[in-house]
Amino acid sequence: MAIKLEKVVETFYQNLEEGKIMAKKCTKCGAVEFPPVYACNSCGCWDMEWVEISGKAKMHSIVMPAALSSKPEYKALGKFAYGEIELEEGSRFNGVVRGINKKKRKEILENNKLPVSCHAVIWQRDGYKTVVFDLDEDQ
């Protein structure tokens, strides 16, 4: 398993243009790195293979955007929140989940519904596509 000088970032974004959300999976321990990187942060192995993620995820925490934590271009997201995302494949990272406002958060927290289910979508930013999540309709 030779270490390769590989354009992982460009490949990730090119796949988004083609409608695919890709990650890297460790061939030794099976851990999935999202977003994709060279080596496994669970076992240290650098033999990683490209995999497409299912998009199924859970949101474990909810922080609402505010004056300090928003930007004019985020208005296009509609109502959304930040939080800890866990992919079905196991990766955890900070992400954006659409479909949550203060009222929805209150309902989720008061009914102890965390973690809530969500799913990945490809979203157009200025000049490139990225990944955000939508709250599942039954949540």
Partner 1 sequence: MNQTKINKYARSVSIIGVGCTPFMYTVDREETNGLTEGEMFGYAALKAMEDAGVNPQDVDFYFHGEASPLNASNYLTPNIQIANWFGMKGKASIHHSEACCTGYYAIEQAVNAVASGKYNCVLSGCVEFGDSLAVPNHPYKREKVTMEKFLQTTAWLYDRAYTRSLMAGQELIYDDAAEWYKRTRGLTDQEMDDTLNWMCINNRKNASVNPLAIERTTYEELAKEKGFDNVMDYMRSPYNPKMGDFLRAGGLELKCDGAAAVIVCATDMVDKYMGNKSHKPVEVLGIGCAALEASNPHFEVRATEEAVRQVYELTGVKPEEIDLFYANDFIITSHLISAEIAGYLPYGEGWKYICEGRTAYDGDKPINTNGGRTSFGHAHAASGLADLYEAVKQMRGEAGDGQVKFDAKTAMLRGYGGAQNICTYIIRTID
Tell me which residues touch partner 1 (CB under 8 A).
Answer: 9, 35, 41, 60-70, 74, 82-85, 92-96, 114, 125, 128, 130-132
Give the torsion through C-alpha atoms of 27, 29, 31, 36, to 10 deg: -40
Residue type, 94: N
* Nearer to partner 1 (CB atom), residue 54 or residue 94: 94
Least distance CB 93 / partner 1 (angstroms): 5
* Nearer to partner 1 (CB atom), residue 17 or residue 74: 74
Burial per residue of 11-39, b for 16 or more beta-carbon CB atoms within 10 angstroms, e otherwise = ebeebbeeeebbbbbbeeeebbbbbbeee
Least distance CB 52 / partner 1 (angstroms): 17
Least distance CB 69 / partner 1 (angstroms): 4
